């Protein structure tokens, strides 16, 4: 499986990092080794001093597809979850300056914790109106709603599948709202969809 991540998909987040609003979706990949095994802590990587959380709604692909038309894209996923797109911001800033790829900052081991629970799509009235949030040590740090995505889930699936075949089990991280920030060792992170706890782990 592969993990596809959308960048700059919420206007207020693009602004907080001084990035332009994209005209088409920006995406990058994380390998399977970026998943955090169940009950494992996130191990703070030694090559960074500024690892940030980015809380994101995650879509699980349930059908093989290539060149998917936007109007059929809803048939290619059936579950919604939540994850953290961990980013070594200091490393990413250096790579950005040099115009180099972001993998060192984004694709490292454990950089994509995903909740073990997923919610069937049919339990939502509207997938483009889902509230989600992150608490660090019990305090809310990030809050978002999928209605604020610049590119909705169906647009993302249509766009990405022009370039990359989507396979069953692939995960799409759909971008973070504003409020990203650093984590530190001993922090406890907990993610929610609406009021439901979906993912919890510690930083070690
Ligand atoms: Mg992100």
Percentage of residues of the chain with pLDDT beyond 70 = 100
The environment of the single-atom ion ligand 1, i.e. residues with CB closer than 5 A, is: 54, 85, 176
| Number of helical H runs and strand E runs in the chain | 4, 13
pLDDT at 16 > cutoff 90:
no
The per-residue pLDDT for range 79-124, each reduced to its tens digit, is: 999 999 999 999 999 999 999 999 999 999 999 999 989 999 999 9
Ligand 1 centroid–CA 54 distance in Å is 5
Number of other CB atoms surrounding residue 16 within 10 Å = 15
Ligand 1 centroid–CA 85 distance in Å is 5
Query: Which domains, and CATH codes, for the chain?
Result: 3-202 (3.90.850.10)
pLDDT at 157 > cutoff 90:
yes
Ligand 1 centroid–CA 181 distance in Å is 12
Closest listed residue to residue 17, CA positions, set 25, 7, 27, 26: 7
The per-residue pLDDT for range 119-145, each reduced to its tens digit, is: 999 999 999 999 999 999 999 999 999
How does DSSP classify residue 10? B
Residue-averaged pLDDT of the chain:
96
Q: For residues 190 and 31, what is the distance between their CA atoms, to the nearest angstrom?
A: 23
The per-residue pLDDT for range 27-52, each reduced to its tens digit, is: 999 999 999 998 999 999 999 999 99
Query: What pLDDT does 35 receive?
Result: 97
């Amino acid at each position: 499986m592969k993990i596809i991540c959308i960048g700059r998909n919420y206007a207020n987040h693009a602004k907080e990092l001084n990035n332009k609003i994209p005209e088409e979706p920006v995406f990058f990949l994380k390998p399977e080794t970026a998943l955090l095994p169940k009950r494992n802590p996130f191990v703070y990587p030694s090559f960074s001093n500024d690892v940030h959380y980015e809380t994101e709604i995650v879509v699980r692909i349930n059908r093989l597809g290539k060149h998917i038309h936007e109007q059929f894209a809803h048939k290619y996923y059936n579950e919604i979850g939540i994850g953290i797109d961990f980013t070594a911001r200091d490393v990413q800033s250096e790579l950005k300056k040099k115009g180099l790829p972001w993998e060192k900052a984004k694709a490292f081991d454990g950089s994509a914790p995903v909740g073990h629970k997923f919610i069937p799509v049919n339990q939502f009235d509207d997938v483009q109106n889902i509230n989600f949030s992150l608490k660090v040590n019990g305090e809310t740090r990030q809050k978002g709603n999928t209605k604020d995505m610049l590119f909705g889930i169906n647009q993302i699936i249509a766009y990405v599948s022009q370039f990359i075949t989507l396979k069953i089990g692939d995960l799409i991280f759909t971008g973070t709202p504003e409020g990203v920030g650093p984590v530190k060792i001993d922090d406890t992170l907990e993610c929610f969809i609406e009021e439901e706890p979906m993912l919890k782990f510690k930083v070690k």
